[in-house]
Amino acid sequence: MDLGIKGKRGLVCAASKGLGRGCAEALAEAGVNLVINSRTEADITRTAQEIAAEYGVDVTPVAADITTDEGRSKVLAAVGEADILVSNAGGPPPGQWTDWNRDDFIKAIDSNMLSAIALMQALVPGMMQRGWGRVVNITSQSVRSPIPVLGLSNTARAGLTGFVAGMSRQVASQGVCVNNILPGIHATDRADGLDRGVAQQQGISMEEARKQREAGIPANTYGTAEDFGATCAFLCSQHARFIIGQNILLDGGAFNATM
Ligand code: NAP
């Protein structure tokens, strides 16, 4: 399917690997020129070179922490105007509900709520002026179904979801579609880290921990960054112009509900 976005300009954050990279690759395949970001210079530079070589689009790497004002300024200076924004950042650490103090909550909210809002505030006005834009925020299945050990994530991402629910409807008439994708378990380093935690806690191997977590997914497998990227690229396509303020759950059926 032609996504109709060849030649558009996109920013994908936290994209040297994992879900962010999956989104960057799918957008590059559709002909989108990209600025991609993550903190480790060598990794983001290598990823940019690989994507540019594979898909023949311009890919500019920016090494910066997207959760800080300084990092976002650096990224936004490299982007200028963008037609497409994919917001993403690392997830907060696990723990018990009694573990976290105010500083921990502020850090999680900065990372997984306010940084996405600041990026939208910087880039969406230009999209509205030009009459076309697409935003995808990478959140989590924890927005629909809380993951008890990820209380910081449950909290911060719920805040972003509430903001997007209202804001997406304020910008839609100007041709800007803002949506969230909620990843269930996908095979990335982040998922490996969570498997490792389960393995250590229960004294089992990583493979057993993964099998155990896969058993809770009707599709009986983890998703991949490629699956995830394809959905992101579709939401950024011309075909998605009537999809506004939605929370698209990619979890292999793990959330058990009729609707
Ligand atoms: P991942 O494989 O660990 O990749 C994380 C990427 O983000 C890396 O490129 C990393 O590079 C970059 N990054 C991390 N913190 C950053 C920051 N502050 N500024 C800029 N770049 C940063 O993780 P993932 O699995 O793709 O997860 C992406 C997001 O989806 C996370 O928020 C995660 O919690 C959420 N999620 C993932 C899953 C899953 O199963 N994979 C499920 C639900 C939610 P550097 O370290 O070099 O910066």
- pLDDT tens, residue by residue, 160-193: 999 999 999 999 999 999 999 999 999 999 889 8
**Best residue among 35, 88, 155 to mutate for probing ligand 1, ranked by most atoms within 8 Å of CB:** 88
Q: Where are the domains of the chain?
A: 9-184+224-250, 187-222
User: Per DSSP, what are the bridge partners of residue 71?
Assistant: none
Taking the CA of residue 184 as reference, the ligand 1 atom at the shortest distance is 42
The CATH classification number of 9-184+224-250 equals 3.40.50.720
**Best residue among 25, 35, 38 to mutate for probing ligand 1, ranked by most atoms within 8 Å of CB:** 38
Q: How far is the CA of 131 from the centre of ligand 1 (A)?
A: 31
Please check whether residue 19 is in contact with residue 186, taking contact to mean a CB–CB distance below 8 angstroms.
yes
> What pLDDT does 93 receive?
92
Asked if residue 186 has its Cβ within 6 Å of ligand 1, the reply is yes
**Best residue among 16, 17, 19 to mutate for probing ligand 1, ranked by most atoms within 8 Å of CB:** 19
Question: How high does pLDDT run on average in the chain?
Answer: 97
Sequence-distant (6+) residues with CB within 8 A of 107 are 92
> What pLDDT does 80 receive?
97
> What pLDDT does 83 receive?
98
pLDDT above 90 for 116: yes
Task: Identify the residue whose C-alpha is closest to ligand 1 atom 20.
Answer: 38
- pLDDT tens, residue by residue, 17-70: 999 999 999 999 999 999 999 999 999 999 999 999 999 999 999 999 999 999
Please check whether residue 56 is in contact with residue 33, taking contact to mean a CB–CB distance below 8 angstroms.
no
- CB count, 10 Å around CB of 45? 16
> What pLDDT does 190 receive?
86
Asked if residue 33 has its Cβ within 6 Å of ligand 1, the reply is no
Asked if residue 155 has its Cβ within 6 Å of ligand 1, the reply is no
Rounded percentage of the chain residues whose pLDDT exceeds 70:
100
- CB count, 10 Å around CB of 61? 24
Q: How far is the CA of 129 from the centre of ligand 1 (A)?
A: 31
Q: How far is the CA of 188 from the centre of ligand 1 (A)?
A: 9
pLDDT above 90 for 194: no
- CB count, 10 Å around CB of 131? 10
- pLDDT tens, residue by residue, 199-255: 999 999 999 999 999 999 999 999 999 999 999 999 999 999 999 999 999 999 999
Instruction: Supply angle C-alpha 186, 158, 152, rounded to 5.
Output: 70
Asked if residue 12 has its Cβ within 6 Å of ligand 1, the reply is no
